Amino acid sequence: MDPTLAKAMTKELKGYKLQGWKLEKYLGHGYSAVVFRATKGKDRAAIKVFDRALVEKFGYENQLERVKRELILVGKHHPNLVRILGGGEDKSKRLLYVIMEYIADPPLSKIFKKVPPRNIGPIIRQLAGASKFLEDEGTAHRDIKVDNMALSKDFKHVTLLDLGVLRPIAEQSHVTDGDWKPVIATKQYCPPEYLYRKEEDTPEGWRAITFYQIGGVLYDLINRRRLFEKEASVEAELYDAIRTLVPSVKSSRVPPELRLLASACLQKDPRMRIAMVQWASFEYDFEALSSDEKAARSDLLGKLRAASTLGNTSPTASTEYETRTVNEYAVQELANKVLFELRAFPELPPIDTKTSYEANAKSGILHLGFTFGVGALKGFGFYADVKVLVDPRNSERSSVSLLHGWTSQGQKLTDNNVEELVHSGPWASAAVGDKLAKRMLQVIGSTWPAP
């Protein structure tokens, strides 16, 4: 919206009442609407009033339906999602509007470069929680970015805002369907399949888009610059970057898990994206690890190394970087699952983990083991090497193999060089991790050495 038009709307509507709310102060404006602070008695709200000319341009009934989409959230609440209080149409002035909770916190877009590293993980957990809440309500946000988030001044509480392009999942509608399918979102934060309108209108399809956009926010917070910042000013360059360039997520200030999570979310292939990332991936408490666990995880994940800079990535380098990132992240997911299952058995001693990456085999390796330090089995130990191979271009192709055995006083009791294939087929980290964990427990239980 032109600032002159926003100023004129403010002058016209200041003091006007909508559903008993008095428009008192201009808060800002975007492409399609002016936002006012409003009061009703002692209560405050933010009211978004849409530009009449734009409403008429895109069809009054279409835009009214968009408002009604937001109204389905009236009475529903998530602590990290702006509350919708009401809205509709004012026929006397032919206005469309939405009444929202008033959020005094500053936009994340203005302070994302100042967010302390320790707060990044909690912010992303909260954002994912709000996004999942929307999915559970049968909708997708479609425009998740730092501009549409507010963050408290202590950097601890985030609120997802602007539900103006909310999309019901798998619902055919004259508002969004037809021969002409515009990109209704900020292109800079759109994954390739949505940018080119090749997305699947399924829960999984929209989840893949949501994960990508959460990854874009995570990228901004980690790198302290915007995703595809250099390419965003020229649309042709932006389209090409989103399609071909692999964003480089680099920072020693945050746990390696967060860097890998960002890279996994920003996978070009939506099938691989939702195979690598689940809602549970955002729930991990990255800052609550002990120093020993942090060291183990750091070794487990390795270091992300981009083959070249963001702006100069050859197809070969992109593939190599993608392959490494995908397999390192797959190893992380499996390690978390196996460790969780094994730690449920108090009979087992502390478990050590580390990883390596085999460039020639294009696979990640999880090295896992433990040694009894007391009791009848003192000196006995178990080891396992798990090889993970995931094709970053085709999530239907993956394999996990296991090599294992026992040791006594550091010496192998068996010379087992035969790898057991635990999984072959489509990659889904939760299911594969569960399968591997069960097999590991079977192996340990069935081969337990006699003291």
Domain end call among 102, 124, 158: 102
Which of 80, 102, 124 terminates a domain? The answer is 102
Q: Looking at the structure, tell me whether residues 201 and 56 fall in a common domain.
A: no
What was the pLDDT predicted at 316? 47
Pair (345, 407) in one structural domain: yes
On whether the CB atoms of residues 80 and 122 are closer than 8 A, the answer is no
Q: How far is residue 368's CA from residue 366's CA, in Å, rounded to a whole number?
A: 6
Same domain, 36 and 128: no
Q: Assess whether 163 and 59 both reside in one domain.
A: no
What is the span of the domain harbouring residue 394? Answer: 333-446
Sign, CA dihedral 136-137-142-144, equals negative
User: How many other C-beta atoms lie within 10 A of the C-beta of residue 375?
Assistant: 10
Is position 43 within any domain?
yes
* pLDDT number for residue 416: 62
Give the pLDDT confidence score for residue 310 in this predicted structure.
32
Domain count of the fold of the chain: 3
> Residue 424's CB: how many other CB atoms inside 10 A?
11
Report how far residue 26's alpha carbon sits from residue 10's, in angstroms, rounded to the nearest whole number.
Answer: 6
Q: Is 296 left (phi over 0), alpha (psi -120 to 50) or beta?
A: alpha
Q: Are 388 and 330 in contact (CB under 8 A)?
A: yes
Quick one: tokens of 243? 């399609």
For 165, other C-beta atoms within 10 Å of its C-beta total: 18
Domain's final residue, options 71, 102, 133: 102
pLDDT in tens, the chain (451 residues): 889 999 999 999 999 999 999 999 999 998 889 999 999 999 999 999 999 988 988 788 988 998 999 999 999 999 999 999 999 999 999 999 999 999 999 999 999 999 999 999 999 999 999 999 999 999 999 999 999 999 999 999 999 999 988 999 986 554 544 444 677 789 999 999 998 888 999 999 999 999 999 999 999 999 999 999 999 998 888 988 898 888 989 888 998 889 989 999 999 989 888 888 999 889 877 665 555 545 544 443 443 333 223 333 344 445 666 677 777 777 877 887 788 788 778 888 888 888 788 887 788 898 989 898 888 888 899 999 999 998 876 767 889 999 998 888 888 886 666 789 999 998 777 788 888 988 988 888 888 776 6
**What is the DSSP code (8-state) at residue 287?**
T
Residues whose CB falls within 8 Å of the CB of residue 20, separated by 6 or more in sequence, listed in order: 40
Pair (81, 176) in one structural domain: no
Residues 183 and 110 in one domain: yes
Any domain includes 318 = no
- The pTM of this model reads 0.74
451 within some domain:
no
**Cα 157 to the center of its chain, rounded Å:** 17
- 150 and 257 belong to one structural domain: yes
252 and 349, same domain (yes or no)? no
Q: What is the pLDDT of residue 178?
A: 42
Cα–Cα distance, 156 to 119 (Å, whole number): 7
pLDDT of residue 417: 67
Statement to judge: residues 248 and 361 lie in one domain: no
Q: What is the pLDDT of residue 336?
A: 77
**What whole-number distance in Å separates Cα of residue 266 and Cα of residue 242?**
10
Q: Tell me: do 96 and 128 sit in the same domain.
A: no
CB atoms within 10 A of CB 307: 16
Q: Which H or E element spans position 42? A: none
Question: Which CA distances in Å does 188 have to 79, 82, 152?
Answer: 27, 23, 25
